[in-house]
Structure 1
Amino acid sequence: MAGGNAIRGSRVGAGPMGEAERGEAAPRVIVSYWCSNGHETKPSFAQEPGMVVPEQWDCPRCGFPAGQDKDNPPAPPKAEPYKTHLAYVKERRSDAEGAVILDEALGALRERGLIK
């Protein structure tokens, strides 16, 4: 045996054991939330004056938003696909505007003698 002073089942710095030493727990309210995948989450909130229970809660299983109405859960967020830089440029400019800008850029390069 390495050390004779160790207390079995405890560790250095461990707090008091049991509820009596910690004081009374605040009164709690448990609220059920459901996501669009049918997962139920039951977080508990302290009952305090003026405390407002959130309308939505993130589902810990799938990450979708969950609401308190089991029959009408919030819709999952719509994920937009990745867009390239060219896709964003095409949203801002028409093909005709792009052709004008390209002609100007090519003209500038020709004047500098970089292209023929």
Structure 2
Amino acid sequence: MADRSLKGTGLGAKSFEDEAGIEFAARQEISYDCPQKHHFTLVFAQEADIPALWECPRCGAESLRSDGERPEAKEEKPVRTHWDMLRERRSIAELEDLLAERLDLLRSGEVGPPQFARPSRSKKSA
């Protein structure tokens, strides 16, 4: 019983399972070259889609596959801003009318903080 004890091993640190009879998945090694002259190799499954770019583990730069396979250029849409989306819904004339309405409400004190309201101009009788 003493020769079967597992003294000195951490929990979950090591597997004592035998690798006999286990068939591993087919693998392939792919090399990448970094613009900073770093070279590294990664292991992928044989049927995996291999990325053309990978982040360099040493410097973080985008590395290209050593076999020279370039990534496909993706068609990028231009970024739509809030202004672009607003202009799809309203014309400049409509926006100017809305702005004038909101400024009138703000100046009259009906909306917004009280410090933006214009003081009423009442004439004092003497």
TM-score range, shorter chain: 0.3 to 0.5
TM-score, normalised by the number of residues in structure 2: 0.44
Larger Rg: 2
Relative contact order, CA 8 A, sep 6+: which one is greater?
1
